Structure 1
Amino acid sequence: MRRPILSRRQLLGGALAGAGAAALAGCAPNVGPADRTTLQFWHLLSGGDGITMAELLDGINDSQDDFFVRPTVLAWGTPYYTKLAMAGSGGRAPEVAVMHASRVPGYVPGGLLDPWELDRLAEVDLDESTFTGPMWENSIVNGQLYSVPLDAHPFIMMYNTDICEQAGVLESDGTITRPDSPDRFVELCESIVDVTGGNALSFGFLGDGAQLWRLFYTLYAQHGHLMEFPDGGEAVIDDDAFVNSLELMSRLVDGTIASTRADYDSAVAGFSTGQTGLFFTGVWELPTMVGAGLPLDATTIPTLYGTPATYADSHSLVLPHQLDPDPEAREHTYEFVSELLKSSFSWAEAGHIPAYLPIVDSPEYDELLPQANYADAADQLVYDPAAWFTGSGANFTNDVGQILQSTVTAGDGFEGALEDFRSLVNSILASPNPVDPEGAEQV
């Protein structure tokens, strides 16, 4: 017997029908108070972020009697995004969900998300003027707003002020010197090595493609270039920026400036116990370092190639596709998102840069340290190249990490890594988006 010819879109639909009951059993709608409209809210926030979000939701639920937000927390990464795709494909999704902004472009072509209506957002005091340019612009896909950013969580540099003071790399105002070239940054690190007697920099990268990519793309973008991954085309990559960035990463991971064998956990441990003076990490590690009692400050990674750029992603709020959205619930969803953004100062306390500008521009935020010292990152954010296969939690960073790690640790083969990277991206670009019914091939 011949197998039936199915499109990838049909396969996704089949997955929903066949596995949906099992996969979503723990996500079935729960009913809120009888006199309120219940809004189902899916997110993937755990740990400290999850606790903060729960507190925000409690505050919103307690502050009014019109709607009740019912959260469902799902496992971070592939499990979450698979279930969200399945729900959107079936048109029976929650009223609102959190997505990493970098994942949104891959979900729009398949009709898995509904766009936000600008007029309705304006009615709840949200528009382009309430967000920084990079956050707002990154939320536009095909001319429509498909995500409302809650924050930016950039890749930054934390530093131990005691160690850096002993190394003579602090300015008169107590902030760290900001070198403007790779050579000067290496010199700064060497001054810190003289104090620590070990490494200057904690950077956990072994087996961690995401960490490698965050630093690499920060340095790449500082050359004044961004990569482009056009559907069905070929990757646009600046060769010199690619090779230069890898060369600097290899200079840093030399066993002296930074360990050649550091994974994520050992890098956290090294900095939190005062063994190193610098730490390349995401803002989400700020609570850990504050809790360790370090003499701590933080800033964006210095601009070493001329163009200020900071790799980041954003937790964003999206409208998963519903076949027949309830008008009242949809109206309250806009109200909920507005209230969440307006009450997100506690989100800043956890380290993230709030997307809502009135909070970032407030006197209270200016006094929030060290967060206020890297708030300028919001104006120089660089997100993943827009493509269906990029973004936080995607397999792409794991594949790229294998290419980057081997050449960074070997200290050579940079041109070969460039060609391997280009080949990888072009091979993926030649494949259709599996959730795009118009681009799906027959299998």
Structure 2
Amino acid sequence: MSFDHSGHGGRFRMGRRGFLRLGLAGAGALAAPSVLAGCASPASPSGSSSLRVWDLFSGGDGVLMDEMLATVTSGPDPFDVDRTILEWGPSYYTKLAMAAAGGRAPEVAVLHLSRLAGYAPGGLLEPFDLDVLAEFGVTEQHFAPAVWERAKWEGEVYAIPLDTHPFIVFYDKEIAGAAGLLDSDGELAPIGSPEAMFAASEALAAEQGGTGVLFGHVGDQAQCWRMFNGLYAQTGATWELPDGGEPRVDADAAVRALTFMTELFDGQRNPNNLDYAGAMAAFQGSRGAMIFSGEWELPNLRITDRPLGAAPFVQIFDQPAVNADSHSYVLPRQERVDEGRRREAHRFVATMLKASYTWASAGHIPAYQPVIEDERYAELDPQASYAGAAEVAVLDPPNWFAGSGSNFQNQMTQPMTAALMGNMSPESAVEQMISASQSMLDDPNPVA
């Protein structure tokens, strides 16, 4: 199933979407190498010049990616792109690892930056040639240091960030203004302490006539970790997972962060038993004045009639920090590298970054700084209000089993969910989180 998407010199074809959306679980993928071989390296109708690209963007993100690809596959120096969309989740990363291990991967793929430690060390990715990228106008100076440093492994750059997608705050501007929480520019004023956040929550609830702050976490595999990871980093502590060692965790700082979460969402001050969809529906239905969630929910929240404001996740402790991840481009291992196609892959990545103003409309913060510095971006509301989150982004600990969509996030979230619902103390939850971290460190890296 394919179609020409550009109508100009280049072509953008969508390949085998229905088949790949079936998704192979990890064990199933390992048991079916012939299926992977068949879908990883197709014969392109346009011949060897077609650049094969894998990504995981569907829904609204998929539509925007279509627009970006339509832009770069037209014009005076177009690309011929064979795009394959795979379903987001563990199956995507299993397929990518299997294809790279066999040397039959696409020339370019999208990877969450937090998953890099599971791919670069095992030889599943190739580093970028920074001199070639510089020829196409992309250099280290064009990225926020917090994100760029995570794109490296042993001193080489293995990923080029397309965006930063942080865990942020959405709020009703009129209610926040009436509650006295906005600054002179009409943006959310700094909070600065647990006590100030509790007071802000109460002021929002009074103006709302109901709930101040919403947070959906029940049944979700990552939400508690997203909030906790940012708060824990705000204390100045780090959650380190050294291969072959023991977790290096500041238990007191972890308890401090989780205790704040349980006090803010204690079932009285704010609900403690909402699932993700329930919290979203409550905010959309004006049953709460503020919600903690990912910026990716912007398209869903802005369709309501509420005057929507947004800001980086509130600073509660000693230093600013925001949990985030980054959709990044990587170069999967090729059995036989065609230097011309590898150079074209570099040009493609650079061109997509320069076209990422389109990507910002979904809420994502473009990683390529010239896009953010463009006056058009400053006019995006509320995206421009939380662009600074990229400067203080904190990703998952760099280890092969951590990152977006990982079992690590699930294992961390389960005891925190129990603590928020009053079924476990913060101290016990942190003990369980550290114990689970140790168990995962004890497991061998399958691609080491």
Partner Cα distance (2:309, 2:102) in 1: 47
Judged with a 3 Å threshold, the aligned counterparts in structure 2 of structure 1 residues 175 and 65 are, in CA distance, closer, same or farther, namely closer
Whether the 8 Å contact between 1:16 and 1:90 is mirrored in structure 2 is no
Partner Cα distance (2:268, 2:283) in 1: 15
CA RMSD of aligned residues (A): 1.9
Whether the 8 Å contact between 2:230 and 2:323 is mirrored in structure 1 is yes
Aligned 1:210-359 pairs, distance under 5 A: 210-359=222-371
Equivalenced residues, count:
424
Overall identity of the aligned pairs, in %: 43
Letter in 2 for 1:183: E
SS of 1:425's partner is helix
Whether the 8 Å contact between 1:30 and 1:70 is mirrored in structure 2 is no
CA deviation profile, 1:190-214 (whole Å, cap 9, x unmatched): 0111122321112110011311000
Letter in 2 for 1:386: P
Q: What is the CA-CA distance between 1:220 and the residue it aligns to? A: 0.4
Give the corresponding residue for 2:124: 112
Whether the 8 Å contact between 2:220 and 2:275 is mirrored in structure 1 is yes
Judged with a 3 Å threshold, the aligned counterparts in structure 2 of structure 1 residues 412 and 79 are, in CA distance, closer, same or farther, namely closer
Give the corresponding residue for 2:221: 209
Whether the 8 Å contact between 2:191 and 2:314 is mirrored in structure 1 is yes
Judged with a 3 Å threshold, the aligned counterparts in structure 2 of structure 1 residues 313 and 302 are, in CA distance, closer, same or farther, namely same
Partner Cα distance (2:26, 2:393) in 1: 36
Give the corresponding residue for 1:131: 143
5+ residue gaps, structure 1, are 1-11, 437-443
Partner Cα distance (2:27, 2:368) in 1: 40
Aligned 1:386-401 pairs, distance under 5 A: 386-401=398-413
Partner Cα distance (1:118, 1:331) in 2: 11
Partner Cα distance (1:13, 1:406) in 2: 28
Letter in 1 for 2:179: A
SS of 2:249's partner is coil
Give the corresponding residue for 1:439: none
Whether the 8 Å contact between 2:54 and 2:108 is mirrored in structure 1 is yes
Q: What is the CA-CA distance between 1:173 and the residue it aligns to? A: 2.6
Of 421-430 and 277-286, deviating more is 421-430
Q: What is the CA-CA distance between 1:121 and the residue it aligns to? A: 1.4
Partner Cα distance (1:139, 1:258) in 2: 38
Letter in 1 for 2:329: L
Whether the 8 Å contact between 2:231 and 2:316 is mirrored in structure 1 is yes
Give the corresponding residue for 2:34: 21
Partner Cα distance (1:201, 1:411) in 2: 21
Partner Cα distance (1:176, 1:37) in 2: 50
Partner Cα distance (2:179, 2:152) in 1: 45
Give the corresponding residue for 2:4: none
Partner Cα distance (1:147, 1:161) in 2: 37
CA deviation profile, 1:295-349 (whole Å, cap 9, x unmatched): 0110012211110000000000001110102222111111100100001001111
Partner Cα distance (2:365, 2:160) in 1: 14
Q: What is the CA-CA distance between 1:14 and the residue it aligns to? A: 11
5+ residue gaps, structure 2, are 1-24
Judged with a 3 Å threshold, the aligned counterparts in structure 2 of structure 1 residues 302 and 323 are, in CA distance, closer, same or farther, namely same
CA deviation profile, 1:398-435 (whole Å, cap 9, x unmatched): 11111111112217522222221111111211221111
Of 206-215 and 158-167, deviating more is 158-167
Whether the 8 Å contact between 1:179 and 1:302 is mirrored in structure 2 is yes
Partner Cα distance (1:385, 1:376) in 2: 21
Aligned 1:43-122 pairs, distance under 5 A: 43-65=55-77, 67-122=79-134
Partner Cα distance (1:25, 1:178) in 2: 54
Judged with a 3 Å threshold, the aligned counterparts in structure 2 of structure 1 residues 284 and 30 are, in CA distance, closer, same or farther, namely farther
Q: Does residue 385 of structure 2 align to residue 373 of structure 1?
A: yes
SS of 2:50's partner is strand
Whether the 8 Å contact between 1:198 and 1:256 is mirrored in structure 2 is no
TM-score, length basis structure 1: 0.92
SS of 1:88's partner is helix
2:169 pairs with one of 141, 154, 157: 157
Partner Cα distance (1:30, 1:403) in 2: 48
CA deviation profile, 1:149-190 (whole Å, cap 9, x unmatched): 000000000110122223232233322232110011000000
Partner Cα distance (1:301, 1:425) in 2: 25
Partner Cα distance (1:263, 1:150) in 2: 30
Letter in 2 for 1:425: S
Partner Cα distance (1:231, 1:412) in 2: 29
Judged with a 3 Å threshold, the aligned counterparts in structure 2 of structure 1 residues 281 and 32 are, in CA distance, closer, same or farther, namely farther
Give the corresponding residue for 1:8: none
TM-score, length basis structure 2: 0.91
SS of 1:316's partner is strand
Whether the 8 Å contact between 2:72 and 2:78 is mirrored in structure 1 is no
Q: Does residue 400 of structure 2 align to residue 405 of structure 1?
A: no
Which structure carries more relative contact order (alpha carbon 8 Å, separation 6+)?
A: 1
